[in-house]
Amino acid sequence: MAKYDTVRSDLAEKIEAYISQSGLRAHDKLPSERELSSHWGVNRMTLRQAIERLVDEGILYSIHGSGTYVAPQKINRNLWQFLSFSDAMKEAGLHAQTTVISIRKMEANKWLAKTFSILLGTEVYELVRIRHVEHEPFALETIYVPCHLCPGLEQHDLEQQSLYAILREVYHIELTKSKQEISMSYLTEEEASYLGVAPGEAAICTKVVTATEEQVPIEYTIEIARGDRCKFSTILK
C-alpha cells in the first residue's frame, strides 16, 4: 500500500508539473486519460486515481462526458495578518470587486446586542455584499455595525471604498483586533444563486468580531465563501 501511495503521489506531482510547464490556466482542458497514461507509461486506473486525488485537492475538476480541467487557483486567506479583504487580495496580486446587495437599519437582536454590548433593539446597520475575485463570485458577506458609531454609513460608496478605510478615515475608528470562528457549511438556494454555484455545495463560514485596541467591538461579519475557491493558512509560534 505504501509503494502504491508513493507511485500515485509521484504521478499527481507529474500532472501538476505538466500543468505548469504547459502554461495551462484555469478551465483549460487536460489531454485525455489515454494520452496521459501513454505519455507516462502508466495504466489508466493509476492515472485516474492520481487525477481523483488532484480533484479532491481542488487542483482539477472533472465534467462527466467532457474531460478533466484545471481548477481556478484557491484563494488563500491567512489568519495571522490583520487585513481587510480588499487589502488581502491586493497583497496576493488578485483583482477584487464588491457588489452591494443591500444596506439597511435594523433593531439589534439578542445576539447582536450581546456582541456589541448594546441594548436590545438598538439600531445597527446590516450590509450585504458579494465579494468577487478575478471577476468571479467568491464570498457572500453580511456585516453588522452599530448605527451610532458611524451615522450616515449608507451614504458612502461601499462598492468602491473599503469599509475599514471609511471607518478609519471618516469615523476615526481604528480596527486592530479580531476574533474568528471558522466552520464548514452548505450553500442554501439563495446563497448559491449569489455565488453562481449549485445549492448544497460545500462552503466555509467565517464569523468575525472586529474590535479596537481598547477591545470595543465595532463590526460583526458573517462570510460564506465557496469551498472550492478558498483555503486558510496560519503560522504557529
Per-residue pLDDT tens digits for 79-100: 666 777 777 778 777 888 999 9
* Distance, CA of 113 to CA of 152 (rounded, Å): 21
Mean pLDDT along residues 187-203: 94
Q: Answer yes or no: is pLDDT of 2 > 70.
A: no
Mean pLDDT along residues 63-78: 83
> What SS3 state is found at 134?
coil
Q: Answer yes or no: is pLDDT of 59 > 90.
A: no
Q: How confident is the model at residue 74 (pLDDT cuts 50, 70, 90)?
A: confident
pTM for this prediction: 0.77
Q: How confident is the model at residue 55 (pLDDT cuts 50, 70, 90)?
A: confident
Q: Which residue has the cell 509503494?
A: 3
Torsion of CA 31, 32, 33, 36, to 10 degrees: -40
Count CB-CB contacts under 10 A for residue 96. Answer: 19
> E strands along 91-194, which residues?
96-107, 123-133, 136-146, 177-186
